[in-house]
Amino acid sequence: MIERRLNNGFSLAEFIVSLGLFLILTSSLAGTLMIGMRCYQASDVDVDFQKSVRDTIEAISNDVRQAVPDDAPGLFGNPATGYKSITPSISPTGVLYPNVNEASTNYIIFNKPDYSYYNPTLASWVPLDPRNFRKIRYFVQNDNEIIREVTLFNSDGSVASTHQDSQAIVEEGSIQLICSMQYSDDMNPFYRVRVIVSEEEKTFSLSANCRIPGGDY
């Protein structure tokens, strides 16, 4: 009886065969899993990439939609801070560039209220105070970074300060910003902002149309 029981155990050959089968099975499973994971990661990177481009275009277009025409003339020898500074003249607008003179640009410049000063509900509000508005400029630097530049003004129209923030950066690749001015059917202008990002062999492009609520006088 004892002899038969020992014969029923694993022989070395059986163990090696079963181990081999197990390894083949698990390695093929792991291989499939790895391919799946790589696909998942690749699509995840693509989704992140697209989301980043979408976030960037949303941030810029949301900013542009808050543009307001700046009427401040040049004061005390300083140049006008709003649309009056542009030659040939353009219609009153919050977006300075692009405009009818330059319908397509690789940057966008607009005036946005500085709510520390801009408050038309107050009787004491001074519409022509250059401090009512900040000038915002989005542009591409070094082909791979979108910069948001903010210029603040003093009450005499001189520049108080300028600072820049990185809004979007592509580590290995390039980024483009294309802005254009167009007219809708009711002849009010709107602005198309387009961001194109290329990274490795991938290129994504998204655009947003910005109509300026306060800009269609």
Partner 1 sequence: MSTTKRIKALNKSGSALLYTLLCIAMLSVITMGLAGISMTQSKISRDYYDSTKLLYVARAGMTRALSELARDSSWPSTSPYVGTLPFGGQTASYSITVTPAAGNSNNTYKVWEVTSSASLGNSNRTVRAIIESEALTKYVMFTDSAMWLWGRSETSDSYNGPIHTNKYFGFWGKPEFDSPLTSSNKDDSYYNSEKRKYTQDEYVTYDPSLFYHYVFGYSYDEPIASTGSNNFYFAGGQPEKYLSTNTTSQEANATYIIAGNATVTFLDAGGVEVVTESGTQIYSTDKVTLYINGTVQVSGTVNGEVTLACSDEVYITDNLVYSDKTLDVLAIVAEGNIMLYTEPEDIRDIEINAMLYSLNGNFSVNRFYEGAPRGVLYLYGGVFQKNQGGIGKCDTWTGELEHGYSKNFVLDPRFLSRPPDNIPVTGRIRIKAWRDNVAPLYIN
Name residues contacting partner 1, limited to 145-204 (CB under 8 A): 165-171, 183, 186-187, 197
208 binds partner 1 (CB under 8 A): no
- The secondary structure of residue 215, as a DSSP letter, is T
Long-range CB contacts (within 8 A, 24+) of 138-141: 138/60, 138/63, 138/107, 138/108, 138/167, 138/177, 139/106, 139/107, 139/177, 140/106, 140/107, 140/175, 140/176, 140/177
Nearest distance in Å: CB 159, partner 1: 20
SS3 content of the chain, % helix, strand, coil (to 5): 30, 35, 35
Report the chain's terminal Cα–Cα distance, integer Å. Answer: 105
CB 180 within 8 A of CB 98: yes
Which run of H or E residues covers position 32? Answer: helix 12-64
Instruction: Note whether 206 binds partner 1 by CB under 8 A.
Output: no
Q: Which of residues 72-111 bind partner 1 (CB under 8 A)?
A: 73, 75, 84, 88-92, 100-101
Give the residue with the Cβ less far from partner 1, 51 or 161: 51
- Contacts of partner 1 in 6-65 (CB under 8 A): 8-10, 18, 22, 26, 33, 40, 44, 52-53, 55-56, 58-59, 62, 65
Binding residues for partner 1, rule: CB under 8 A, are 1, 4-5, 8-10, 18, 22, 26, 33, 40, 44, 52-53, 55-56, 58-59, 62, 65-66, 68-69, 71, 73, 75, 84, 88-92, 100-101, 113, 115, 118-123, 125, 127-128, 165-171, 183, 186-187, 197, 213-214, 217
